[in-house]
Structure 1
Amino acid sequence: MKNILVVKMSSIGDVIHALPVSWAIKETYPDAHLTWVVEPPAYDIVAMDKCIDEIILFHKKEFRSFGGFLKNFGPLREKIQARDYDAVLDLQGLFKSAAVAALAKAPKGMKFGMWNMREGSKYVSQPVVGEHVHDHVIERYLDTARAIGCQVKEVRLPLEVPAKEQSLTRQIFQQAGANMDNPYVVLVVGASWPTKCWPDGHFAALGDWLYNRKIIPVLVGSGPVEMQKAAEIAAKMDVPPINLVGKLNFKQLAYLFQQSAAVVGGDTGPTHLAVGLKTPTVMLMGPTYPRRTGPYGQMDNLLVVDRDCRECMKRACPLGHDCMAIIQPEAVEAKLCKLLSLDTANI
């Protein structure tokens, strides 16, 4: 195959889970030109993928009005149709991705998608019901790569952080009051759903425990809600943590993870990025399915809420429970002791 198009636009975590498809494609077709369609929020992550040759940005907001559609449809179509593709993989499975896949020129029967295609996307791309249909979402994505002949010898997130971003990360870390050469653990403070978030007090207790072990706790996240959460965590701690919430782009965040001793976080994009980079990661899960989105390759580091109603897939608990509070800091500390070969006394 000479030209392959992959459509995977959002969300951040889902894009990260899909990127091993790029490695699988280049593993089997090293000379293929791989084009990836993505939305702006995930651009920085896709741009680090050394297997992707071309990125087409899909600005969804620009298509919401009739005037915006008329203005932007032509240029998008021109970009999509600049090549004839041997295969198209729609890993989004929604109307917007189906519209992009429909524009792409490819032989009949060479457009494939996930098994659970929605919003009419199955009428554009053939759903792939592979052997991993009930397994981790990474394997489900890879089943679409297998459908075009990819052997998938290795599952890898092929990201490379530019040297400039590495240097900037070190500068930002130093300006925040610490040295990246000292041991640190990154705490991912937020998530897209309130039900996925670990309580502030638990993060604070873990941060104090890390300081007592001469390990720097570093908070990361983005947006005003997570900035406020970080401030509340810091207020509860004996010694303030290094607070990098809102200060790093995804390239810098990736480098921060690569240099860290470990990462702790919920089922959210940054945590999945850490897992994909093979950084030792303790993932905390409650309302979502570990089998689908747990820490791929690091399931021993997973902590799941001990409640019958877990895996409810609710953004807000209808019963008013804070399920994630059930996971105590001591449980995370025990995982970190094992990962970092720390003394388990007085956890």
Structure 2
Amino acid sequence: MKNILVVKLSAIGDVIHALPVSYAIKETYPDAHLTWVVEPPAYELLTMNPCIDEIIRFEKKEFKSIGGFLSHYGPLRRRIRQRSYDAVLDLQGLFKSAAIARLAKAPVKLGMCNMREFSDRISKPVIGPNAGGHIVERYLDVARAIGCRVENVVFPLTVPECEEDLTRRIFSQAGADMGNPYVVFAVGANWPNKRWPTESFAALGDWLYEHRLIPVLVGGGPVDEQRAAEICAQTEIPPINLVGRTNFKQLTCVLQNARIVVGGDTGPVHLAAGVGAPTIMLMGPTDANRNGPYGQLEHAIEADRPCRHCWKRACPKGLDCLAAISVQQAEQKISALLSEKSTWQ
């Protein structure tokens, strides 16, 4: 195959889960030109991926009005049709991704197993051996369907050296040295019921300081900034607060060098698992078998509730879902990981 188009637009965690598809394509077809269509929030993430030859930004917000659609549809169509593709892989499986896949000229158009919003009318769903398994493997089943051998599952991300140097300076300005052992807390998540209570993060942060580990907060956006402020206010010694202070490249560097990363089912935590950091994921509404830290599912801690895995963005019962996960459970998991030599290498 000479030209392949991947359509995976959002969200951050989902785009991270799809990254091994790009490696599988290049592993099998090293001379292929790989084009990826993505929405702006995940664009910077893809710029770190050496397996992608061309990135097309899909400005979804520009298509919401009739005027915007009329002015942006033509340029998008021309950009996509600059090439004739051997295959299109719709890894989003929604109406918007189907509309993009439809624009492309290709004899083969495939999608993932659980396509929705009539996207299966454009791309044929691939019901592979992992249709009931982890989302990373579901995406890879689509790559396998175009002949990709998946000998290694790799999240291909490279942080530029200049960004590594800048990350160390940001870390230092925040009051710590990256050379000292630290544990990252991903404090937020898009779904309210994927967020561990701030008082739990605070208590765990104090416990870490007692064990000579520095807690470091990461995240972005007003909600995460408010949660970080609450965590700092509730601790005896405030953690290092990097919320809103790093871009994707710098965040990746922070995660790569962490002893452990702790957080909910959210982008930074999936990114941590992808770059090989020991990752503890606190889960409730979503299923670890599908969405847990890839390659480290044994590190997931699921809320002990009969209604877990409900897949609802907000709890219909009004429960604070992850409050069922105790600080002691997190401490025990961290202690077990720290006892393993690999976490200190």
TM-score (norm 1): 0.97
Task: State the secondary structure of the residue aligned to 2:282.
Answer: strand
Which residue identity is paired with 1:235?
Answer: A
Q: Is residue 49–residue 157 contact of structure 2 (8 Å, CA) maintained in 1?
A: yes
1:168 maps onto 2:162 in alignment = no
Q: Does 1:11 align with 2:21?
A: no
Task: Give the SS at the match of 1:229.
Answer: helix
Task: Report the residue type matching 1:132 in the other structure.
Answer: N
Matching of residue 26 in structure 1 with residue 26 in structure 2: yes
**CA–CA distance in 1 between the matches of 2:102 and 2:320?**
43
1:234-293 deviation digits (Å, cap 9, x = unpaired): 000000110011111111100000111110000001100001111001110001111110
Aligned to 1:331: 329
- Matching of residues 131-280 of structure 1 within 5 Å: 131-280=129-278
Choose 330-339 or 32-41, whichever is displaced more.
Answer: 330-339
Structure 2 match to 1:68? 68
2: distance between equivalents of 1:120 and 1:316? 26
Secondary structure of 2:171's aligned partner: helix
Note if contact 2:284-2:308 (Cα within 8 Å) is conserved in structure 1. Answer: yes
Q: Which moved more, 1:246-255 or 1:315-324?
A: 315-324
Displacement, 1:323?
Answer: 2.3
Which residue identity lines up with residue 199 of structure 2 in the other structure?
A: G
Deviation, structure 1 residue 300: 1.5
Hey, what does 2:101 align to over in structure 1?
101
Give the whole-Å Cα distance in 2 for the aligned partners of 1:66 and 1:299: 45
Once the two structures are superposed, what CA deviation does each residue of 1:287-345 show, in whole Å capped at 9, x if it has no partner? 11111101111012111111111111122222222121111111111111121128xxx
Superposition TM-score, scaled by structure 2 size: 0.97
Shift of 1:116: 1.7
Residue in 2 that maps onto 1:287: 285
Deviation at 1:158, TM superposition (A): 0.5
1:307 aligns with 2:282: no
* Distance apart, 1:145 and its partner CA: 0.3
Query: 4+ residue stretches of structure 1 with deviation over 3 A?
Result: none
What is the rounded CA distance, in whole Å, between the counterparts of 1:106 and 1:150 in structure 2? 17
> Which stretches in structure 1 are left out of the alignment for 5+ residues?
343-347
Matched position secondary structure for 1:141: helix
SS at match of 2:328: helix
Residue 53 of structure 2: aligned partner = 53
Which amino acid is the alignment partner of residue 83 of structure 1?
R
Q: Deviations along 1:152-176, whole A, 9 cap, x unmatched?
A: 1111101001112111111111110
Distance in 1, matches of 2:113 and 2:205, equals 42
CA distance in 2, matches of 1:316, 1:26: 39
Which residue identity is paired with 1:304? E
Tell me the matched-pair count: 340
Root-mean-square deviation (Å): 0.9
Q: Which residue of 2 aligns with 1:345?
A: none
| Residues in 1 aligned to 2:281 and 2:114: alpha-carbon distance in whole angstroms | 26
Aligned partners of 2:160 and 2:333: how far apart in 1? Answer: 31
Q: Deviations over 1:40-91 (max 9, x none)?
A: 0001111111111110000001111111111111111111011111110000
Contact kept in structure 1, 2:90 and 2:123, CA below 8 Å: yes
